[in-house]
Amino acid sequence: MLPPVFGVLFDGIAYGMLLFLLSVGMSVTLGLMNFVNLAHCAFGMLGAYVTVMLMKNFNWNFFATLPFAFLAAAFVSVLVERTLYRRLYRATDLDQVLLTIGLAFISVAAAAWFFGTTQQPVAMPSYMRGSITFFGLNIGIYRLFLIAVGIVVTILLVMTLEHTRFGAQVRAAVDNQRMARGLGIDVDRTFAVTFALGSGLAGLGGALAIEIVGLDPHFAFVYLVYVLIVVSVGGLGSIAGSFAAACLIGISDIAGKYYVPQLGGFLIYLVMVAVLMWKPAGLFGKRS
């Protein structure tokens, strides 16, 4: 029999993986492209609605919808990036915030218009429900799946950004745009692809989140808070940082609710304050 602390750790990491998928895209756009995209979770919500609609109206299997949640969010984000965001890459933070928060509001209203304000039902395949017992611990099967997805995505991302030609182009474009252009790198295209990748991951995260937290039009705002916490605690532009921060926030949230429910969901804010006082640039942040 393992003590309950392992159960808390497991649940915390699973929840952290969800936060990681939702926030890693924002960490990339904010850290690498210096663009404040507060509409990030709106793309997550889009992915979630795609999954719900495919399952509800076309009886698709949950897993089959996941790639489409990713693609839909990525595709729409490229449209938005090409038409709106690219004009503001050199604008002030305030301009970017105003535009993107406006888009987030629009997305909430649009989702309410099309899908109503109620919770969207999804029925997971029965083999994903329930839990298995492992040395006396309850291991939720779906949570196990979340952790697996989180780890795979992390590895793929790190490999892509650190070890591929595309990754090198992204880093070059960020460090010195003029120089990168001079070397023949298509910076516009690189940014568009990076942006699509980040938003696509948010779409995937949104779709995966439905089973744990549900889906309604306020998704775009409710999770923005958590995403911003993860990004700031982890440090901008750092994938490892986002991963560590998401785990830390996930575990402290679950541990707080389990051991000190009086504190409720407040513990994560204390953790955030503590980390940022210790390291103002975040756990893995390079610049302050």
Partner 1 sequence: MKTMLYASAAAAVLALVSTAQAQDTVKIGVILPYSGQFADGAKQMDAGIKLYMKMNGDTVAGKKIEIIRKDVAGPQPPVAKRLAQELVVRDNVDILAGFLLTPNAMAAADISAEAKKFMVIMNAATSIITTKSNYSVRTSHTLPQVSATMGAWAAKNGVKKAYTMVSDYGPGHDAETSFQAALKSAGGESVGAVRMAVANPDFSAYVQRAKDLNPESIFVFIPGGAQPAAIGKAFAERGIDSAKTKILGTGELTDDSALVNMGDTALGIITAWTYDHNHKSALNEKFVAEYKKDNNGENPNFFVAGGYDGMHVIYEALKKTGGKTDGEALVNAAKGLKWEAPRGPMMIDPETRDIVQTIYIRKVEKVGGKLVNVEFDKVENVKDPVKAAMK
Interaction site with partner 1 (CB under 8 A): 4, 7-8, 11, 15, 112, 116-119, 121-123, 129-131, 138, 140, 142-143, 211-214, 216, 218, 222-223, 253-258, 261-262, 264-266
Q: Which residues contact 199 (CB under 8 A, 6 or more apart)?
A: 25, 40, 43, 73, 74, 76, 77
Q: Which is nearer to partner 1, 92 or 131 (CB)?
A: 131
**Minimum CB–partner distance for residue 206 and partner 1 (Å):** 12
Q: Are 276 and 232 in contact (CB under 8 A)?
A: yes
CB of 269 to partner 1, least distance (A): 11
Least Å distance between CB 157 and partner 1? 24
Tokens of 201: 């991951």
Q: Which is nearer to partner 1, 88 or 128 (CB)?
A: 128
CB-wise, 141 or 193, nearer to partner 1? 141
Burial readout 47-69 (b: 16 or more C-beta within 10 A, e: otherwise) = bbbbbbbbbeeeeeebeebbebb
Closest distance of CB 2 from partner 1, Å: 13
Structure tokens at 266: 């407040």
One DSSP character per residue, 65-77 reads HHHHHHHHHHHHH
Minimum CB distance to partner 1 smaller for 151 or for 255: 255
Q: Which of residues 140 and 198 has its CB atom nearest to partner 1 in the complex?
A: 140
- To partner 1, the closest distance from the beta carbon of 286 in angstroms equals 31
Residue ranges in 59-186 assigned as alpha helix (H): 62-83, 93-115, 141-163, 165-175, 177-182
